[in-house]
A and B are shown apart, each in its own frame.
Chain A
Amino acid sequence: MSSLNQLTVTEATEKLAKRECSSEDIVRAVLAAIEKNDKQVGAYLTVDAESALAQAKEADVARARGETKPLLGIPVGMKDLLNVKGQPCTCASKILKGYVAPYDATVVAKLRVAGAVILGRLNMDEFAMGGSTENSAYQPTKNPWDLSRVPGGSSGGSAAAVAADEALATLGSDTGGSIRQPAGFCGCVGLKPTYGRVSRYGLTAFASSLDQIGPLTKTVKDSALLLSAISGRDAMDSTSLDAPVPDYAAQLGGDLKGLRLGLPKEYFIEGLDAEVEQKVRAAVAKCRELGAEIVDISLPHSKFAVAVYYIIATAEASANLARFDGVRYGLRVDGEDPIDQYGKTRAAGFGQEVKRRIILGTYVLSSGYHDAYYLRGQKVRTLIRRDFEAAFQHCDAILTPVAPSAAYKLGEQINDPLKMYLGDIFTIPVNLAGNCAINVPCGFTQEKLPVGLHIIGPALREDVILKVGHAYEQVTDWHKQKAAVSGQLSAIS
């Protein structure tokens, strides 16, 4: 029998309902796994065990009273850019060292309403800028499948924790692939909801027109459960959509008959790792076996997406990160005058990647360059959006690889920013268009590194991509395989 920390959310919910274990048992098992393995993995920045156990006990009392809530007693880990009242929220940056959040993000409040236990702060690339979690000011996170490799990023801690069974489920954020790519690298399910599906209130902003919060889980059904819990219109986020929130998990099941799945010809490109391509094509074939019709589509402007992204995302970030000035919170380095204080504080507080992007974003907005870069970027964004609108006339969802390669070695791309940026080529267009997408494990390379299938759906059609992912998951067992690190733990305990 597997340890409680290895359970999926669905399994844990069943056990709790049958009183086979308590929430406290589950939280203790997760804390033990963190204690055991996280020195190697480095997924967590901080864990407030006391608070987690107190919440778990409360959940157990509530259950004893007869309360039933969708996630009652289920621990969920938080990427370190989500505000949880009374907890640190450093965004893996030195500039927010010591900051204590005075409020709950809307997703946190919603999870509490659903009965969840809020557990731990997960590592990330500083301010979500990066694809390897090596840009954390505190520690690198390692890939549980191979500790010499990166877990992806920026939600690397969120993905690694799930893969190492140091969490049942976590929340991450995705601006250009930051949930899906690490989910792909770590062999878990990662969902980026439609822009506006989930409130961003309380998510420390990187690029406000692209950011979305989403779940990282062990199965597609777990993803559906969490999505229903965190979705919905929020008065605090004007861009959150006023659309009904279905019970996504209840809608899962059945084969793929009648569904048309599009394969964009531009996405199977030069530079795509051969093994990755082979696994993804095999997954496509599996979907065909499940009854889906595979159609060829074209997303001609996707090749411009990375360029557009690095204009728009950095421009927005340059403003979003202006507030870190040492006046109201966070690091303060004294100066002769306020300007000097800002210059010193921000120089000392931000890491290299963040500085690079702030400067790039400031540059593309600055007088004389605004129209050539920023405005043109916004126009090409329109073309990319239209590509998807046209493609979804011919198909219900789109299948692509989630990344051009499996997880790479630590340090391999840290000095080549452009190469690292190009690693997001399959995920970025989705954020620019505002669509939803999910990563589902679809095999392993010969080196036993996970490969991800990326399923993209139209706006607010999370039901479709979850259905496709779930159907595929039911006929494969990639998601059941355990990472090296987690295996060690279950062997010991």
Chain B
Amino acid sequence: MSSPDKIDVRYVAHLARMHLADGEVARLQPQLEQIVGYVQQLGELNVEGIEPTAHAIPVQNVFRADEVRPCLDHDAAMQNAPLAREGQFIVPKIIE
């Protein structure tokens, strides 16, 4: 974490599946670099041997019994679908 890395905004936006207009890239680039630059301060800290925190609460083994619960009925499941056909959600043709 010595110096802020140059961010490939377009590549990262592609990983996140967002098309960005050129203007957006130009606006986001300095903002993101400023924030990432700010975050660099964490490099000052010695974190060796420190356990990472993923959960704020020290709880484990929370399980559910293998019991069937009611599903949504089919119409309710499809009511929000932007595009549906034969009971299925429609996307542009998937090419494998």
Binding site for B on A (CB under 8 A): 98-100, 102-103, 195-196, 209-210, 235, 238-239, 241, 301, 304, 306-308, 310-311, 318, 322, 325-332, 334-344, 346-347, 350, 352, 355-356, 358-360, 362-364, 366, 369, 372-373, 375-383, 385, 417-418, 421, 431-434, 459
Contact = CB atoms under 8 A, between A and B. Distances in A.
Interface of B is mostly: loop
B52 A379 contact: yes
Given A196-B57, A382-B53, A347 B18 contact: yes
Given A336-B92, A360-B36, A328 B80 contact: yes
A307 B42 contact: yes
Given A307-B41, A363-B12, A239 B94 contact: no
Given A363-B12, A379-B51, A459-B57, A328 B89 contact: yes
Given A373-B39, A380-B42, A380-B47, A356 B28 contact: yes
B53 A304 contact: no
21 contacts: A103-B72, A195-B57, A238-B62, A310-B35, A326-B82, A327-B81, A327-B82, A338-B91, A346-B18, A346-B19, A347-B21, A355-B20, A356-B28, A359-B16, A375-B52, A377-B39, A377-B42, A382-B52, A385-B56, A418-B38, A432-B53
A102 B92 contact: no
A196 to B, nearest CB: 5
A382 B42 CA distance: 13
Given A102-B79, A235-B64, A362-B16, 14 more contacts: A100-B80, A304-B45, A322-B16, A329-B82, A340-B92, A341-B91, A346-B17, A346-B18, A355-B28, A359-B12, A360-B32, A363-B7, A378-B53, A417-B34
B59 A241 contact: yes
Given A380-B42, A418-B34, A100 B79 contact: yes
Contacts of B26: none
Which 8 A-B pairs rank lowest in CB-CB distance, beginning with the nearest?
A434-B56, A378-B52, A329-B80, A332-B82, A343-B19, A342-B17, A379-B47, A347-B19
